[in-house]
Copies of this chain bind each other. A is one copy, B any other.
Amino acid sequence: MMSTKNVAEMLRIAGLRPTRQRMLLGELLFGQGHRHATAEMLHHEAVDAGERVSLATVYNTLHQFKRAGLLRELAIDGAKAYFDTNTSNHNHFFYEREGKLVDIPEDSIRIDGVPEAPAGMVISHIDVVVRLAPK
């Protein structure tokens, strides 16, 4: 639950000017707990809320947030990019039919036996996606 003041602070720390659009998107993303969003969803929400933002700016802002470590980008179904406000290592259910993404609690899944990274490489992240289909 991040307040308006905290969004401003968050932007300042990330070295991003607290413009109207960034404040807006920051509040949509971080204002009520963790969430998953696509650029389109956010743009739609912003417009619904009567605010003026272009889709291009939504994309730009998402990438700036990502670069600042505030978001993680998830490649789930190829078609579109999902952004996750929870940047810690956790996993996801993906409802294939609806394209919906739901967190799996952090401590639920345990992965053993991950091979070492090849020489000169480091593991940057391990993504686990549990795909769900209607029974």
Which A residues form the contact surface with B (CB < 8 A)? 73, 75-78, 80-81, 93, 95-96, 104-105, 108-115, 117-118, 120-135
Q: With A76-B75, A78-B75 in contact, is A121–B109 under 8 Å at CB?
A: no
Specify which of B114, B115, B134 is in contact with A120 (CB 8 Å cutoff): B134
This chain: copies in complex: 2
Chain B residues positioned under 8 Å from A123 (CB to CB): 130-132
Chain B residues positioned under 8 Å from A75 (CB to CB): 75-78
Q: Which of A75, A133, A134, A135 is the most central at the interface, judged by chain B CB atoms within 10 Å of its CB? A: A75
CA distance A129 to B92 in the complex (A): 13
CA distance A75 to B101 in the complex (A): 14
